[in-house]
Structure 1
Amino acid sequence: MATEVRNNTALERFELTADGQPAGYIEYQDTGDERALVHTEIYPQFEGRGLANVLIQAALDASREQGYGILPMCPVVLHFVNTHPDYIASVPQRARGLFGLPQ
């Protein structure tokens, strides 16, 4: 399955397509140098294929490349960060305790 993730800045969300079809999105809110990832949605016909991980990783990588600190407000994003410790450094240290992440 071919996937692509694009940042739709007008809607403040990363959008995922799978084989050319809309498959889901992550909504975000930027505040200064931090990006809060607030909601992840994978459309029902695409669930169970690991696409949430593809979408989250792309959103985290793009946000990190743009210099944003990450606030994993969405439980799915927080779980991803917890299970992929290399992304913990992207969460500002002052916020890690709020999300139960190691300092």
Structure 2
Amino acid sequence: MDLASLKTVKNESESRFELFIGEDRAIIDFKVGKSGAIYLVHTEVPDKLEGQGVGHKLVRESLDILEHEGAKIIPLCPFVRSFLKDNLDDYKHMFAEGVKL
């Protein structure tokens, strides 16, 4: 599996970010709040792909897409929150007002 050649996409109609790995798909579900902030609700990586960096790539690329859009985020998903704690300096400017990890 060559993760570097794969790219996360934003699927607006399904309110999720998707990373396809062959026939498998890793996702982050999101919701748009009344203020326009993006709630990152749930991350899911197929069991057979866990521990291979798929989740981290999915989160990083999803955040990069949102950063490019100028979005503010509210991370509810424990996996996303953990990633953000480890990469706080890169993404803390994206937090919606009042967000704390």
TM-score band w.r.t. shorter chain = 0.7 to 0.9
Give me the whole-angstrom Cα distance separating, in 1, the residues matched to 2:13 and 2:81: 24
Give me the whole-angstrom Cα distance separating, in 1, the residues matched to 2:73 and 2:37: 6
Report the number of matched residues: 96
The answer for the alignment partner of 1:37 in structure 2 is 40
Moved runs in structure 1, 4+ residues, more than 2 A?
20-23
* Offset of residue 93 of structure 1: 3.9
Quick one: percent identity of the two aligned structures?
A: 28
Deviations 1:43-102 (A, max 9, x none): 112111011000000111111111111111000000011000211121124222xx3xxx
The answer for the alignment partner of 2:95 in structure 1 is 91
The answer for the alignment partner of 2:28 in structure 1 is 26
Give me the whole-angstrom Cα distance separating, in 2, the residues matched to 1:94 and 1:78: 15
Matches within 5 A, 1:1-103: 1=2, 2-18=5-21, 20-31=22-33, 32-85=35-88, 86-96=90-100, 99=101
Gaps of 5+ in 2: none
Give me the whole-angstrom Cα distance separating, in 1, the residues matched to 2:68 and 2:36: 12
Which structure would you say has the larger RCO, counting Cα contacts within 8 Å and 6 or more residues apart? 2
| 8 Å CA contact retained: 1:16, 1:23 | yes
| 8 Å CA contact retained: 1:33, 1:67 | no
Letter of the structure 1 residue corresponding to residue 30 of structure 2: Y
Greater shift in the superposed pair: 68-77 or 27-36? 27-36
Q: Which has the higher strand share?
A: 1
| 8 Å CA contact retained: 2:15, 2:31 | yes
Gaps of 5+ in 1: none
Over the residues paired in the alignment, what is the CA RMSD in angstroms?
1.3
* Offset of residue 4 of structure 1: 2.0
